[in-house]
Structure 1
Amino acid sequence: MRETLVLNASFEPLAAVSLRRAVVLVMQDKAVVERAHPGLRIRAASVDMPLPQVIRLSRYVRVPFRRRAPWSRRGVLARDQHRCAYCGRRATTVDHIVPRSRGGGDTWLNTVASCAEDNHRKADRTPEQAGMRLLRRPFEPTPVDVLLASLTDGAVRGEVAGWLGASA
């Protein structure tokens, strides 16, 4: 399913929403389409509009400053680009470096994306105990990094990163 980036009226990224939600915001005149999927349109009896990739809210929405990105399974997979931290194949699960049963928790620095095979092989052990090596160390992303990583369209991600001066 496609997601649409929502920008504040000041062009700051706010969230990624479903295509359906984006269309509703545009049809209610709460947002305008900033970038559309080339050649794709939504057509109905009374509607003919481009399929939005990026929308901008018509009115500024005040958002409380968030210093840290909240941890989530989806966020870990996006941060690690759905690649297993142990073998590099496609990741479908999240592995705790220090297992929860041994005091590890759901934090950015204790979790990595993992394929099911490596997650099962590591089991209730640390990577050292299992004889496994991490290909890359986990890190805590900024809230903007998490938002950019959640966008499925690389072109939009790159464009927005350019607006923000961030790396995609």
Structure 2
Amino acid sequence: MDQKVLVLNGDYTAITLCSVQKAFVLLYLDKAEMIANSDHGTLRTISHAYPKPSIIRLQRYVRVPYKGIALSRHNIMKRDHFECQYCGSTKNLTLDHVLPRSRGGESSWTNLLTACSRCNHAKGHRTPDEAGLHIRQKPKKPTLAGFLKLSAGTLDHHWHAYLN
């Protein structure tokens, strides 16, 4: 039961992912309603079988203070699919500043990317153009919906209407 369930707020906006167990508890306590069933089995007790949730909606609108996605090493690597953005390697990953800190580059979503230690060392205190390196995917700040897609791993086909 390591599947995830998409949780929608009262206004049908996606707010988070939760476990099937947590979603079932919210449904059982009438704090949420089921929007879509999962195509992967059911939840069984001794005397009942319940459909496994894929999407639930909270009964009440919950005001969620959105502060954005935290800028962290793990989140940057997750955004970059745990691949070097210069050569595609998945080994010995580090973070690289596109505009080096020695030249005034800051630590931000648009200036940090995942790089293997070999490419990072080859780049040194230069920009990628000066080092002759090509960035595969331009670094940008992820949206909440995009980050939920990355966090889920596999996407249930029911989720597409709410995460696009």
Specify if TM > 0.5: yes
Distance change in 2, residues 1:93/1:22 (3 Å):
farther
Length, aligned pairs only: 158
Tell me the SS of whatever aligns to 2:110.
helix
CA contact (8 A) 1:151 1:157 kept: no
- Larger displacement relative to structure 2 (141-150 or 31-40): 141-150
CA contact (8 A) 1:2 1:19 kept: yes
Tell me the SS of whatever aligns to 1:109.
coil
Report percent identity of matched pairs: 28
Alpha-carbon offset, residue 49 of structure 1: 1.7
Pair member with larger Rg: 2
Alpha-carbon offset, residue 69 of structure 1: 3.3
Question: Whole-Å Cα distance in 2 between the matches of residues 58 and 30 of structure 1?
Answer: 6
Alignment partner, residue 79 of structure 1: 79
CA contact (8 A) 1:91 1:113 kept: no
Distance change in 2, residues 1:150/1:91 (3 Å):
farther
Instruction: Write the mapping of 1:39-58 to structure 2, written as runs, cut at 5 A.
Output: 39-45=40-46, 47-58=48-59
Tell me the SS of whatever aligns to 1:108.
coil
* Aligned-pair Cα RMSD in Å: 3.3
Question: Whole-Å Cα distance in 1 between the matches of residues 131 and 62 of structure 2?
Answer: 48
Instruction: Write the mapping of 1:124-163 to structure 2, written as runs, cut at 5 A.
Output: 125-126=124-125, 128=128, 132-154=133-155, 155-161=157-163
CA deviations on 1:65-100 (whole Å, 9 max, x unpaired) are: 54x433234433443344431233558955232599
CA contact (8 A) 1:77 1:91 kept: no
Question: Whole-Å Cα distance in 1 between the matches of residues 91 and 8 of structure 2?
Answer: 29
User: Is 1:60 aligned to 2:61, yes or no?
Assistant: yes
Alignment partner, residue 95 of structure 1: 95
Distance change in 2, residues 1:113/1:18 (3 Å):
farther
User: What are the ranges of 5 or more consecutive residues in structure 2 without an aligned counterpart?
Assistant: none
Alpha-carbon offset, residue 113 of structure 1: 3.7
Question: Whole-Å Cα distance in 1 between the matches of residues 63 and 50 of structure 2?
Answer: 28
Question: Whole-Å Cα distance in 1 between the matches of residues 18 and 93 of structure 2?
Answer: 23
Alignment partner, residue 119 of structure 1: 117
User: What are the ranges of 5 or more consecutive residues in structure 1 without an aligned counterpart?
Assistant: none
